[in-house]
Amino acid sequence: MTEVATARRSRITPEREAELYEAVLDLLREVGYDALTMDAVAARTRSSKATLYRQWGGKAELVAKAVRHTKNGAGVSGIDTGSLKGDLHALTRRSDDSKMEQNSALMRGLAMAIHGNPDLLKAFKEYLIEPEMAEFRTVVQRAIDRGEVRPDCPAIDYMMHMMIGGFAARSMLDEQPPTQAFLLSYIDAVVLPALGNQGD
Amino acid sequence: MTEVATARRSRITPEREAELYEAVLDLLREVGYDALTMDAVAARTRSSKATLYRQWGGKAELVAKAVRHTKNGAGVSGIDTGSLKGDLHALTRRSDDSKMEQNSALMRGLAMAIHGNPDLLKAFKEYLIEPEMAEFRTVVQRAIDRGEVRPDCPAIDYMMHMMIGGFAARSMLDEQPPTQAFLLSYIDAVVLPALGNQGD
């Protein structure tokens, strides 16, 4: 098993991995999830389908990891500003506006596909939603430890609903992609007060 | 002009209108917005295309009004409980769980279509989003007049973002359609505290 795992890891460089993810995202934008085939990914990236399956297991996992790749993957490890407001703002500032706009278009398409594809939903939860929820939990737990948020505050369970809602509703209601400025103002107006924190 | 307007109104009974909207919603569920044609609506409802265009102007308007029709259309006119919490709960209770589930599936499909169809976005804003925003404004204004919410509370501008977010994020994060119980708890945990109102 160790030998296989090593072989897997060594088979692909980070540069090559990034190149593959970019090609997957391009194809996603061009044809959408349902019409995307592993054959097309293999052709576009000049890889063998066998390699793709060995490395990623399948289309859903490959797509979820490609989307995760756009998120920098820095995690909260580098973020610890000393206040909840500071941490939430810093998390938001990791994606610039053009990245957010791309992401918003991509997520719209995938949100549809998720409902017809349990594999995609599973991969999304595992590689995108769960890690993001864990980030927010870390940030909120620190705020609880500092006494900024009460541990029994009911809004804690709705962190992701609030954030996704702001992001998703923005393009529909305001006909604009979400921007950093919008999300920062939404965090101050909605998320912090709901958590009983005025951001001071 | 008056004569034309009268002729328009008299051309169709409320029962016939409801029947037409139901057929449009059935077709939407079956084929989606992009593949829906006025020919198919005419065939399914045994009407002439000319009548459909005269009555509704086009596909986008017909679809938006059909969706609005599922919302009972009671408005806030009958709702005035004397507290913000009471009013928001009463608005939520207008749709039962099976209606919310149907609505959620429908809206998911239409949210995608909106981005490729400016006509549909325009009709949605006019017949669905604006009226709903007006309802929330009425309810919040009453709360301001009673002194329950400060008139300069920044979350007021994000009422719809909060509500749509809760609704949309529910099915994605929790793999369940939004239910009354979920929305009532979300209102208490997020919306009221963001508005500086603890619901007492």
Averaged pLDDT score across all residues of chain B:
85
Phi, psi of A109 (to 5 degrees): -65, -40
Q: With 80 as the cut, is the pLDDT of residue A103 above it? A: no
The rounded distance, in Å, linking the Cα atoms of B73 and B126 is 14
Instruction: Check whether A5 has a pLDDT greater than 50.
Output: no
Interface probe, candidates A158, A159, A176, chain B, greatest B C-beta count within 10 A: A158
Cβ of residue A16 closer than 8 Å to a chain B Cβ: no
Report the candidate in B159, B43, B168, B179 with the shortest Cα–Cα distance to residue B109: B168
A173 with B161: Cβ contact below 8 A: yes
Architecture label for domain A73-194: Orthogonal Bundle (1.10)
From A3-12, A91-100, B58-67, B155-164, the region with the lowest mean pLDDT: A3-12
Q: What are phi and psi of A147, to 5 degrees?
A: 80, 15
Cα–Cα distance measured from residue A21 to residue A63, given in angstroms and rounded to the nearest whole number: 8
Question: Between residues 82 and 121 of chain B, which touch chain A (CB distance below 8 Å)?
Answer: 105, 108-109, 111-112, 114-115, 121
Quick check: A190 and A162 in contact, CB under 8 A?
yes
Q: Is residue B93 helix, strand or coil?
A: helix
Map out the domains of chain A as residue ranges: 2-58, 73-194
Contacts of B71 (CB under 8 A, 6+ apart): B94, B95, B103, B128
Q: Which residues of chain A does B115 touch, with a Cβ-Cβ cutoff of 8 Å?
A: 105, 108, 171
What's residue B114's pLDDT?
Answer: 80
| Nearest C-alpha neighbor of A70 from the set A134, A25, A36, A33 | A25
- What amino acid is encoded at A145 in this protein? D
Cβ–Cβ contact B160 with A under 8 A: yes
Whether residue B175 lies within 8 A of chain A, CB to CB, comes out as yes
Of A25, A6, A13, A11, give the one whose Cα is nearest residue A107: A25
pLDDT in tens, B180-196: 999 999 999 999 999 99
Q: How far is it between the farthest Cα atoms of chain A?
A: 55
Q: Which residues of B touch A160 (CB under 8 A)?
A: 169, 173
d(CA A30, CA B126): 31
Q: Which residues of A touch B169 (CB under 8 A)?
A: 160-161, 164-165, 168
Coil, helix or strand at residue A75: coil
pLDDT at B3: 44
B161 vs A190: CB contact, 8 Å cut-off? yes
Check CB contact of A29 with chain B, cutoff 8 Å.
Answer: no
Vertex B99: Cα angle to B93 and B104 (nearest 5)? 105
A69 vs A47: CA distance, rounded Å: 19
Return the beta strands (E) in chain A as ranges: none
Nearest to A62 by CA among A89, A43, A41: A41
Confidence at residue A39, expressed as pLDDT on a 0 to 100 scale = 95
Residues B136, B92 contacting (CB under 8 angstroms):
no
Query: Which of A139, A149, A189 lies closest to A166 in space, CA to CA?
Result: A189
In b/e form, how buried is each residue of A12-41, taking b as 16+ CB within 10 angstroms?
A: eeeeeeeebbebbbebbeeeebeebeeeeb
d(CA A142, CA A11): 39
126-155 in B: which are within 8 Å (CB) of A?
Answer: 129, 154-155
pLDDT attached to residue A19: 93
B196–chain A Cβ distance below 8 A for any pair = yes
Residues of B in contact with A165 (CB under 8 A): 161-169
* Cβ separation A164–B168 shorter than 8 A: yes
Q: Is B60 on the interface with A (CB under 8 A)?
A: no
pLDDT of A112 strictly over 80: no
Question: Is residue B62 pLDDT above 60, yes or no?
Answer: yes
Question: Which CATH architecture describes the domain A2-58?
Answer: Orthogonal Bundle (1.10)
B109 against B194, higher pLDDT:
B194
State pLDDT tens for residues A56-91. 999 999 999 998 887 755 566 678 999 999 999 998
Q: The tokens of A34 are what?
A: 């349902």
**Are B155 and A190 in contact (CB < 8 Å)?**
yes
How confident is the model over B115-171, as pLDDT tens digits? 778 899 899 889 988 888 888 999 999 999 999 999 999 999 999 889 888 887 887
> At B103, is the secondary structure helix, strand, or coil?
helix
